[in-house]
Amino acid sequence: MDNTLPLPPGPHSEPGFWLDTSEHRTWLKDQAMRQLAFFSASCRTEPGFFILDHDGSPLPNTLQELHTTTRLVHSYALGHLIGFQGAERIIDHGMAYLNSHHKDRDHTGYLWALDGDNIKDDRKLAYGHVFVLLAASSAKQIGHPEADKLLTEVRDVLDTHFWDDEAGLYCDEWNRDWTPFSTYRGMNANMHGVEALLAAFEATGDEIYLTRAGRILDFFIGRIAPAENWRLPEHFTSDWQIDRGYAGDPMFRPAGTTPGHSFELGRLQLQHWDLSGRPNSGAPESSRRLIEQALKDAWLAGGGMAYTLDFGGRVANASRFWWPVAEAIGAVGTLIALDKRQEDEIWYRNLWTFANETFVDHQHGGWFPAVDESGDIVTSIFDGKPDIYHSLQACLFPLSGRLSRMVPL
């Protein structure tokens, strides 16, 4: 790998691997526990969750989106596995809110956004529903009494309305009553679909989840990535042709390619390969190529990952958000777990050093969501600290030392 990042003096140039040291592993678990403690304040006394300000105080915004609810359930299921006291309270709170507010009793499925007791956005999105599957699967892993019911219900919705068996992919969006909303097809929902399908396989042992995850991976990593110089276009037409002119929401559906998603999908393919019994295939090599290309393309002078690239790998949006760095840590940590290479260790140390010096809030806990080119906190893009999901997994995936996801540490 051509790594042009200059190495700072000190522990970065020392031989060996941080993950082999008790000091680093203890630090990772401590970081995870601090995040879990910080986001525990998300629980409202009434149904739903707060978004937290930088200091951990609740923001007045009462909007609740489906991915926020489900990611908290999933994250605190991971917290339960590492012994965080109080995880069950947040899991129970999230599972109850999914049933009482997000669940659409008139048309089936799960509503995207609520504002108090009122529906704010009634669309039915594959992106949201695969996160329901992830939450249900993680809850089942820890024995939550409502997990089986939720798993059965969301699987039925995904099978009925989102899964395109001919393509082997998830379509994206419907109106509340399941009438067509658009012909958009996207990589993001399918990538998180792989994540949820693998979690469901780990929770249930049902091979259909593993098979479907493999079909999605075959399309994006087996077909699209090699043809696109190991970069992943985000947006597609209804017949799954790359839509190079698409420019939707600049935050959630930006034009071009999003290297942070290459980290996620590369790691997920390694997980799928591991759960499939490590067959004699090219999965480790193609995962590595995808991850390495994103590292080379997206790493910015001074540190951090560019948010988006054009189709040739040039930086399109240089915003430095927390989540691509968190996902790069998880991806590189997984490469190290599979095959210890010093070049991966260089990346791992530099990614964590940058995250620790810029994103990690050492005073209050959690990660700041965005920094500028000087490493100063940017407050104009996100309200407070919107998420524990990415940064928690950055600690736990490397710490597990395994390619599969839901395992005791």
Say if CB 257 and CB 234 are below 8 A apart.
yes
With 0.85 as the threshold, say if the pTM is over it.
yes
- Other beta carbons within 10 Å of 383: 15
Q: Which amino acid is at 114?
A: L
Domains of the chain, CATH where assigned: 11-400 (1.50.10.10)
The series of mean pLDDT values per 10 residues for the chain, 409 residues long, is 38 78 94 98 95 96 95 98 97 98 98 95 98 98 98 98 98 97 96 98 97 98 98 97 92 94 98 96 97 98 96 97 98 95 95 96 97 94 95 94 59
Say if CB 29 and CB 82 are below 8 A apart.
yes
**Radius of gyration from C-alpha coordinates of the chain:** 20
Which residues are tagged catalytic? 261, 390
Give the three-class secondary structure for 204.
helix
At 17, list the tokens: 């691997």
Residue 380 phi, psi dihedral angles, 5° rounding: -90, -5
What's the pLDDT score for residue 12? 58
